[in-house]
Amino acid sequence: MLSPTDPMIDIVDLCKRFTKGKETITIFDGLNLAIPRGDFVAVMGPSGSGKTTLLNLLGGIDRSDTGGIEVAGERLDRLSESELSRWRASHIGFIFQFYNLMPMLTAAQNVELPLLLTRLGRKERRERVETALGVVGLADRVKHYPKEMSGGQQQRVAIARAIVSDPALLLCDEPTGDLDRTTADEVLSILQVLNRDLGKTIVMVTHDPAAAQYAKRSLHLDKGHFIEKELAA
C-alpha cells in the first residue's frame, strides 16, 4: 500500500535495450528516477532519447531488461501480463497524441470504456461519465461521435476517458502535438487543473517548451540520463 510519503514513481538502475537486426540499441543503462505523488513532470528530449519508451515502462505496457520500476506502490517488473492489465485499469490514465478514440463510439461511450472493466452498475457508470465529461467541459457533447468533434474536443474526451476511473497517475504522450496553440493551451490548462485541484500525478512527454511550462518541473532526457529543470510556481 502506498503511504503519502512514498514516491509515486521510483525507478532504480533501469536498463532497456532494443535489438534491431544485428544491432543492439541501449535506451537506458542504469536510469534512476523518483517522482513524488502530486507532481506534474514534463519529460523533454530529442527524438530517440527514450521519452515514449519511459512512458511505456511507467504504464506497464513495456518491460525493462533489468532494474526495478515501482509505480503507485507496485513493482511492475514482478507482475504478470494479466496482473499488469488489472493494475493499468485501476491506476493509470493514458492520453495519446492522436487521441485514439474509437470512431464508432460516442463521446460518452468512449469515456465509459475503462469502466467496463469495473463492477460498477450502469447508473453509476453513467454518472461517472457525465462527471468526467463535465470536468473537461464537454457535458453537452455526450452523444457526439469523434468525427463530429474538433481535435481539441477529441483530446478532451480522451482526457475524460483517462480520468473516469480515477487513476492516481496520468501518462501523457505528446498530448498537444496535434493541436494548435490555443487549443493546446486549453488542454494543458485542464491537465494543470487535474494536477492542482484533484491531486493527479502527471508525467507528460512533449517536444513543446510552451507545453512544458504548464508542468511543475521539466526533465530533459539525453543519452539515457535526466537533466532536471524546475519550472512552474
Out of 16, 51, 161, 200, the residue judged to bind other proteins by CB under 8 A: 161
* Region near other proteins per CB under 8 A, out of 5-13, 98-106, 203-211, 214-222: 98-106
Write down the least CB distance from residue 108 to other proteins, Å. Answer: 8
Residues 5-44, one symbol each (x = binds other proteins by CB under 8 A, - = not), give: ----------------------------------------
Out of 36, 38, 79, 100, the residue judged to bind other proteins by CB under 8 A: 100
Write down the least CB distance from residue 220 to other proteins, Å. Answer: 23
Out of 88, 128, 141, 200, the residue judged to bind other proteins by CB under 8 A: 88
Q: Does 62 bind other proteins (CB under 8 A)?
A: yes
Write down the least CB distance from residue 2 to other proteins, Å. Answer: 19
Q: Does 156 bind other proteins (CB under 8 A)?
A: no
- Asked whether the CA dihedral 201, 60, 132, 143 is positive or negative, the reply is positive
Contacts with 71 (C-beta within 8 Å, 6 or more apart), sequence order: 8, 9, 10, 58, 60, 91, 92, 169
Confirm if 157 and 149 have CB atoms less than 8 A apart.
Answer: yes
Comparing C-alpha atoms, which of 142, 117, 143 is closest to residue 131? 142
Interface of this chain with other proteins, residues 106 to 145, rule: CB under 8 A: 109, 112-114, 116-117, 125
Contacts with 121 (C-beta within 8 Å, 6 or more apart), sequence order: none
* Region near other proteins per CB under 8 A, out of 23-31, 38-46, 69-77, 102-110: 102-110
Out of 24, 103, 123, 230, the residue judged to bind other proteins by CB under 8 A: 103
Query: Would strands 74-75 and 92-95 be described as parallel, antiparallel, or unpaired?
Result: unpaired
Question: Computed over its alpha carbons, how large is the radius of gyration of the chain?
Answer: 18
Give the integer Cα–Cα distance in Å for 16 and 13.
Answer: 10
Query: Would strands 7-20 and 225-230 be described as parallel, antiparallel, or unpaired?
Result: unpaired
Q: Does 81 bind other proteins (CB under 8 A)?
A: yes
Which residues in 183-195 are b (16+ Cβ under 10 Å) and which e?
bbbbbbebbbebb
What cell does 67 get? 532494474
Contacts with 167 (C-beta within 8 Å, 6 or more apart), sequence order: 90, 91, 92, 93, 200
- Residue 56 or 131 having the CB closest to other proteins: 56
- The count of residues interacting with other proteins (CB under 8 A) is 27
Q: Provide the binding-site residues for other proteins, judged by CB under 8 A.
A: 56, 59, 61-62, 81-82, 85-90, 94, 96, 100, 102-105, 109, 112-114, 116-117, 125, 161
